[in-house]
Amino acid sequence: MEALVHEKNSASTQLFVERTSPDKPIHPGMPNLEPVEKPISFFEFWPGYIFYIPVAFQWLWQSIRWRGVGLPLIANPSIPLGGMVGESKSDIFSRASGEAKARIAPWALLDGWEDADQAASRAQRLFKHAGLSLPLVAKPDIGCRGAGVQLIRSKDELVRYINKFPSDGKILFQQLVPYEAEAGIFYIRYPGTENGEIISITLKYQPYVIGNGKSTLKELIIDDPRAGKLTHLYLPRHQDQLDTVLPKGQPFRLAFTGSHSRGCIFRDGRKFITPELTRAFDRLCDDLPEFYYGRFDIRFKDIQSLMKGEDYYILEINGASSEAAHIWDCRGSLADAFKTLFFQYQTLFKLGAINRHRGFPSPPLGELIKAWRKEKKLVSRYPETE
C-alpha cells in the first residue's frame, strides 16, 4: 500500500506520494505507459479559440443541413442544454437509478453558506449522512476541465477549500475510491434502440517524477521529457516544494486531477473496448433517463476487470460538450483528432433531430450564452486545481 503524506505549509496543500517500495507500479491497474519519441504532440496545447475553429464552421454547416442551430442542446433531453455548458454534476447524478446509481462514487452536495467554519461543520454532517469519510475529492458542481478540483484530507483543508470557494456556488464532495486506474468511456446510443456503442476509451495516467537523491523537485520537472515542456502547469502548482530533494526512487505526483489541460497524460485505449464492456454500459444507461451521448469518467480496479465491465466507479457523467479524449494522445495526428470531432458533432445534430421529432424543443441560443457566462464567472473564482 502507499502512504499519502501531506506536506503542510501555509501556502501549499499539494500531495506528496510516498511508496513503501520503489518497485511497486506507479500506475496500478493500468497498462504500461509506453515511452514515446515525442511526449507532446504539436497541437496538444493549442489555445481552444484556435483549435476549435473548424468545429465552429462544422456547427454552422450542420445547422443548415438539419435546419436547427440548437439541435445539439437536446441530444440528451434530460440534461439542461444537453450538457453542453453549465450542467450540474449533482443534478445528473440525482437522475440515476439502479445500476447507474450504484456505480456512482458516493457523494454529497454543499451549497448556501456565509461562514466557512459553519459550512465545514454542516458538510461533515452531510458526509456522515451520505456515508462519506476523509479523504474526499472536492469539486465544483458546475465546472469543466478539472477546474477547482482538490483532494481533502483533513478538516483544516476542508475549511480552507470552502473559504476559497465562491459562496454563490455549490461544492460536490465525492468519496475517494479505492482504485487508482482512471479512464474516460465515451458512449453513444440512439433513442428507441436497446444497444449503444462505446466509441472511445481514454486511459488517464497521472504524471510523476522520480527522485534520484540529488536533484530538487524543480530540477526533476525541468529535466523530464514531458513535464519539462509543461512547467507553466507544474511549477506554480508545487512552488513551495520546488527546492525539496526527493529520495532515490521516490515518486512525486505532479497532478491529481484526471484532466488533460491540467497535465494528466492521455493514451488511446480503444483496443480495450469489448462486447462485455459495451453491454455493461448499455445496462448502465438504461438507468439514466434520456441520456444518449457523453463521456463517463471512471476509476477502475484493473484493465482486465474493466474489459469485463466490472469493478469500476463513476466520477463524472459528461454530456454534449464531451470529447472522445483519446484525441489528446500525443501519438495521434491532427487529422484523426478532427475526424473524431467532426463525427461527434455530426452525431449530436442527428440525435438532436431525432429528439426534435420526438417532441423535444430546442432551447434558444440565448440560454446557452447565459449558462456559459455563469460558468465562466464561477470558474474564475474557484480554488486552485490540485
3-state DSSP of 199-212: EEEEEEECCEEECC
Nearest partner of 374 among 168, 74, 115, judged by Cα: 168
Ordered mean pLDDT values, 10 residues apiece, the chain (386 residues): 32 35 77 91 91 96 96 97 95 96 97 90 95 95 88 94 93 94 97 97 96 95 94 92 94 89 93 98 97 97 97 97 96 96 98 98 94 92 88
DSSP for 108-123, written as a single string: EEEE--S-HHHHHHHH
Three cell numbers, residue 125:
454532517
Distance, in Å, from the CA atom of 224 to the CA atom of 30, rounded to the nearest integer, reads 21
- Return the HEC string of 15-76: EEEEECCCCCCCCCCCCCCCCCCCCCCCCCCCCHHHHCHHHHHHHHHHHHHHCCCCHHHHCC
Which H or E run contains 173?
strand 170-175
pTM (predicted TM-score): 0.91
Q: What is the pLDDT of residue 25?
A: 78
Three cell numbers, residue 359:
417532441
Q: What is the pLDDT of residue 4?
A: 32
Q: What is the pLDDT of residue 128?
A: 94
Q: What is the pLDDT of residue 257?
A: 84
Asked whether 258 and 385 are in contact (CB, 8 A), the reply is no
The phi and psi torsions of 298 (rounded to 5 degrees) equal -130, 160
**Residues paired with residue 166 on neighbouring β-strands, in sequence order:** none
Distance, in Å, from the CA atom of 301 to the CA atom of 314, rounded to the nearest integer, reads 12
Distance, in Å, from the CA atom of 168 to the CA atom of 162, rounded to the nearest integer, reads 11
Q: What is the pLDDT of residue 145?
A: 81
| Straight-line distance from the first to the last Cα atom of the chain, in angstroms, rounded to the nearest whole number | 22
**Pairing outcome for strands 312-318 and 293-300:** antiparallel
Asked whether 298 and 315 are in contact (CB, 8 A), the reply is yes
Residue 22 CA, chain-centre distance (Å), reads 28
Which H or E run contains 138?
strand 136-140
Asked whether 306 and 312 are in contact (CB, 8 A), the reply is yes
Q: What is the pLDDT of residue 22?
A: 52
